[in-house]
Structure 1
Amino acid sequence: MPQPDIYDPAYVKGVFDRCSGKYIAFSYVCSMGFTERWRKQCVAALDLESTGRFSGYDLMAGTGEAWPHLIEQYANIDRIIAVDISSGMHRHAMDRLHQMRAHKIDFVEDDVLTSKLATGSADFIISNFGLKTFNPTQHEQLAQLVANTLRSGGKFSFIEASDPKGWWLRPLYLFHLKAVLPLVERLFLRGAKDFSMIGQYSTNFGDASDFAEMLRRQGLKAEFRKYFFGCATGVVGSKP
């Protein structure tokens, strides 16, 4: 039987639709709270000005856990457009976070790589833990999208769980991703091995350094960053 293409948009949508109901709790507990810390760091790295009014995109927005941090840190954000392929993830975002912030948040259910985001329409672009679901060719497409969608002077910040190569505790970290997460799912969630796919996506991804170079080739200023010994990596920068 042929193996599925785990980067096919329909496959990715299925994974996250099925695990959407328990995604928030699972990611927080199994990362020992680091995902929440990394989201805050990703939002802070945007470094938006304190004056002016801003609107932008949360790409691969998931359950919208970046929104409270964005709105709290940058009161001058007028509008966040959340783009995600998973309707299940967004339903849970609405139930948990969206209602009190509905006046500032719009949702586009779409494969971000085929979304018709208007040229020069964003003051900022942010994405938390969405890069891993793309292969290198798709990363190139995403870099083009970011360059096209940002206005001149616009800023971006991406973060993703990564493979901390060179860290002496890397074997333990990989054991956690490849063995502990599937075990937790099997014993407590009885899922369709969807959460264990998150570990596979992360280890396949490596880190954000290649994506940073792709953004530079699109004419953007891009800085590669490591978080907690490289267990997460990110790219921050701007459009000249």
Structure 2
Amino acid sequence: MKNIYDPGYVKKLFNHMSASYERMNYITSFGFSIRWRRQFLAKLGRSQDKLHVIDLLSGLGENWSFLQNHFPNASFSALDFSEQMIENSKKKSAHLFKGKLNLMCEDILQNTLPSDHYDIISCAYGLKTFNTEQIEILAKQVSRILKPGGRFSFVEVSKPENAILFFFYKLYLGRIVPLLGKIFLGDPSDYKMLWIYTEKFGNSSLLQAIFEQNGLEVTYDRYFFGCATGISGTKIK
């Protein structure tokens, strides 16, 4: 039986979905992914200071224009371990940052990022592909690379607690989205995995406890009746 949390499997999955992932993220969230993105990034605040900002599990760079708007004088980095995601995000990087984005193809769970370096960490829609052990490693890495007093915010599509909403959400993500994947991409199997990951992930409540154990002050965040959840906070000084 395949291990859906194996980094090699996850990388292969996202390499395969890379060309269509931004479009399908919009579809799988009923179009709410952009609104949730604005909301979770707003928790980082705004600053004119010369900060160091990093976008983890950066995908196709969907967070970048918002981050640039919030932190116009910052130095920006982005990290993803999918080679195709990195390759397909280079055009956006060149357009937004004029070659000044430090775009890294690395695994956040095994990385070469400097300690106590970043003022701001963002991460959208990548948490569901981690099991509990990997989330513990992620929390340690976030605590290590973030400056004391630095801020972070994460968001993930989640399993709603409301039974009626959950029924329709499961039907949509589990059945309709793979059908759309077949229509647009000729392959429903990759997008069927998005619901499997989402159902196993549940919500971000587990992250709160794990991140708090690693020297981070954490707030649990809910979006649209729990259809997305996340955590935000600061590294304790």
What interval of TM-score do these two structures reach, taking the shorter chain for normalisation?
A: over 0.9
Residue 114 of structure 2 corresponds to residue 118 of structure 1? yes
**Which one of the candidate residues 65, 69, 72 is aligned to 2:66?**
69
Partner of residue 17, structure 1: 15
SS in 1 for 2:222: strand
The question of whether the paired residues in 1 share the 8 Å contact of 2:48 and 2:71 is answered with no
Distance (whole Å) between structure 2 residues aligned to residue 135 and residue 180 of structure 1: 26
Quote the RMSD (CA, aligned, Å): 1.4
Alignment map for 1:96-107 (pairs within 5 Å): 97-100=92-95, 101-107=97-103
Structure 1 unaligned runs (5+)?
A: none
Superposed displacement of residue 180, structure 1: 0.9
- Aligned partner letter, 1:64: G
Give, in whole Å, the separation in 1 of the partners of 2:56 and 2:198.
Answer: 18
Normalising by structure 1, we get a TM-score of 0.93
Q: Give aligned-pair identity as a percent.
A: 36
Preserved contact between residue 225 and residue 235 of structure 1 (Cα < 8 Å): yes
Answer yes or no: is 1:4 the counterpart of 2:5.
no
Is the alpha carbon distance of 1:192 and 1:11 closer, same or farther for their aligned partners in structure 2, counting shifts above 3 Å?
farther
- The CA distance in 2 between the partners of 1:84 and 1:35, in whole Å, is 19
Whether the 8 Å CA contact 1:56–1:121 is kept in 2: the answer is: no
* CA deviation map 1:130-179 (0-9, x unaligned): 10110000000000001111111100000000001135311101111111
Pairing partner for 1:165 from 154, 161, 164: 161
Q: How does 1:87-102 map to 2 (within 5 A)?
A: 87-95=83-91, 97-100=92-95, 101-102=97-98
Shift, 1:31, TM fit: 2.1
Q: Output aligned runs, 1:212-223, within 5 Å.
A: 212-223=208-219
Give the deviation of 1:56 after TM superposition.
Answer: 2.2
Name the CA distance, whole Å, in 2 between partners of 1:11 and 1:25: 22
Q: TM-score, normalised by structure 2?
A: 0.95
Q: Is 1:131 equivalent to 2:127 in the alignment?
A: yes
How far is 1:221 from its partner? Answer: 0.5
Would the aligned equivalents of 2:180 and 2:188 in 1 still touch at CA under 8 Å? no
Find the residue that maps to 2:135 and give its secondary structure: helix
- Residue 54 of structure 1, aligned match among 41, 48, 51: 51
> Which 10-residue stretch deviates more, 5-14 or 191-200?
191-200
* Cα distance change, pair 166–31 in 1 and its aligned pair in 2 (3 A): closer
Alignment of 1:179-198 (within 5 A): 179-191=175-187, 193-198=189-194
Deviations 1:82-141 (A, max 9, x none): 11111111222112x111214441111111100121110111111000101100000000
Counterpart secondary structure, 2:109: helix
Q: For 2:100 and 2:234, how far apart are their aligned partners in 1?
A: 23
TM alignment of 1:200-219, pairs within 5 A: 200-219=196-215
Higher deviation after alignment, 122-131 or 34-43: 34-43
Q: How many aligned residue pairs are there? A: 235
- DSSP-derived class of the 2:2 partner: coil
CA–CA distance in structure 2, aligned partners of residues 166 and 181 of structure 1: 21
Partner of 1:26: 24
